[in-house]
Amino acid sequence: MSEVYVVTSGKGGVGKTTSTANLGAGLALLEKRVVLVDADIGLRNLDVVMGLENRIVFDIIDIIQGNCRLKQALIRDKRYPNLHLLPAAQTKDKDAVTPEQMKKLCDELREEFDYILIDCPAGIEQGFRNAIAGADKAIVVTTPEVSAVRDADRIIGLLEAAEIESPMLLLNRVRINMVKRGDMMALEDVTEILAIDVLGVVPDDEGIVISTNKGEPCVADSASFAGQAFRDICRRMTGENVPLMDLDPDKGFFAKFKNMFRK
Amino acid sequence: MQFLKNLFSKEPSSGSLAKDRLKLVLIHDRANCNTDLLEMMKNDIMQVIAKYMDIDEAVGMDINIEQTTDDNNNTVPVLYANIPIKNMRKKKKPKK
């Protein structure tokens, strides 16, 4: 049975697009059939984060307006077993789509894919309404900052009003050293405030910038700390029970990895 | 060094400051989002009170969500309702 997820945040720049790219690639590595839909019309970016910007011929508006068939607009990412991207239009504005059209598009995609991940634009206007229209579930991305958490709270309220079943939290860019000395809100603080279930925590990692520079999601990099967090999240999305990773670099996964070389 | 500083200073860490500020701002945000809900609640409360007392309907009722601190010094939302009463005992309406 296929699931349509919207990846949303309210505030811009918290890592929606990067998360969408990594979750999509991670699910594809788990042998799932995945399509990523860039719903940020006018400001498309998922293509460039995925490294597929040179392969765009048609986009989401072309499909909706009937200029091409669905299969023609889907870009297959050859690095993964079954991962596709449906790019946003860059020249049109966000009013070129209606929620009904998005819903119809999602239903068509359900026939071909197990996971449909929609990268939502920032904000709470029409673009947001379109992006959530066809979704069953929502992933709310936020960082442990007052502005991002406040906007996440607003988004959770709007998702609930739109009757999208229990949104899940992805806490991004956690700097464990700052949390340890009390200068950054911890996961527990954020979940206490937002009162939603946790899907995962992703550490702040320079590797993300590097992998985005290259157009290669870090989820495929077995040595990446953030990549490990995204791999865990993907397994949770498939229903596996994976404990939250220990972000402390002195313990947990990364230290084990280092210790292997020390011996 | 930072650790020692935190240990000896009485100032709260910036993380807990952020959390407290957020809690406050969200009480406001959440209350503002629900003006419809507040209006519906107001009408229901009016109806209940009107069963027992005479409300001055010309003045109307004022209802709001504000903040206060509980026994443990945590900020909690409270519902304030200001209901002008004409008469403490309800005049019995003549039965039809």
Going by the DSSP 8-state scheme, the letter that residue A197 receives in this structure is: E
Q: For domain A3-262, give the CATH superfamily.
A: P-loop containing nucleotide triphosphate hydrolases (3.40.50.300)
Q: What is the pTM of this model?
A: 0.81
Neighboring chain B residues of A153 at a CB cutoff of 8 Å: 26, 29-30
Domain residue limits, chain A:
3-262
For B17, the token pair is 């400051």
**B86 three-class SS:** strand
Strands (E), chain A: 3-8, 34-38, 75-76, 83-86, 115-119, 137-142, 165-174, 197-203
In the predicted structure, residue B95 carries a pLDDT above the cut 70: no
For the complex shown, is ipTM > 0.90?
no
Q: Among partner residues B3, B25, B33, which is closest to A150 by beta-carbon distance? A: B25
CB atoms within 10 A of CB B25: 14
pLDDT for position A251:
63
Neighboring chain B residues of A192 at a CB cutoff of 8 Å: 19
Q: Among partner residues A179, A182, A193, which is closest to B22 by beta-carbon distance? A: A193
Closest by CA position to A122, among listed A204, A232, A43:
A43
Per-residue pLDDT of chain A (263 residues; tens, 9 = 90+): 899 999 999 999 999 999 999 999 999 999 999 999 999 999 999 999 999 999 999 999 999 999 999 999 999 999 999 999 999 999 877 678 999 999 999 999 999 999 999 999 999 999 999 999 999 999 999 999 999 999 999 999 999 989 998 899 999 999 999 999 999 999 999 999 999 999 999 999 999 999 999 999 999 999 999 999 999 999 999 999 999 988 886 665 555 655 565 54
Amino acid at A218: C
Q: Let me know: does A211 contact A218? Beta carbons within 8 Å.
A: yes
* Residues B13, A149: C-beta atoms closer than 8 Å: no
User: What is the distance between the alpha carbons of residues B29 and A222, in angstroms, rounded to a whole number?
Assistant: 42
Q: Which residues contact A148 (CB under 8 A, 6 or more apart)?
A: A9, A10, A11, A14, A142
User: What is the distance between the alpha carbons of residues B45 and A132, in angstroms, rounded to a whole number?
Assistant: 35
Number of helices (H), then strands (E), in chain B: 3, 4
**For residues B23-50, average pLDDT:** 80
Q: Which residues contact A158 (CB under 8 A, 6 or more apart)?
A: A124, A128, A132
Greatest Cα pair distance, chain B, in angstroms, is 82
Q: Let me know: does A170 contact A9? Beta carbons within 8 Å.
A: no
The Cα of B43 is separated from the nearest Cα of chain A by a number of Å equal to 22
Residue with token string 């009485």: B10
For B44, the token pair is 């229901």
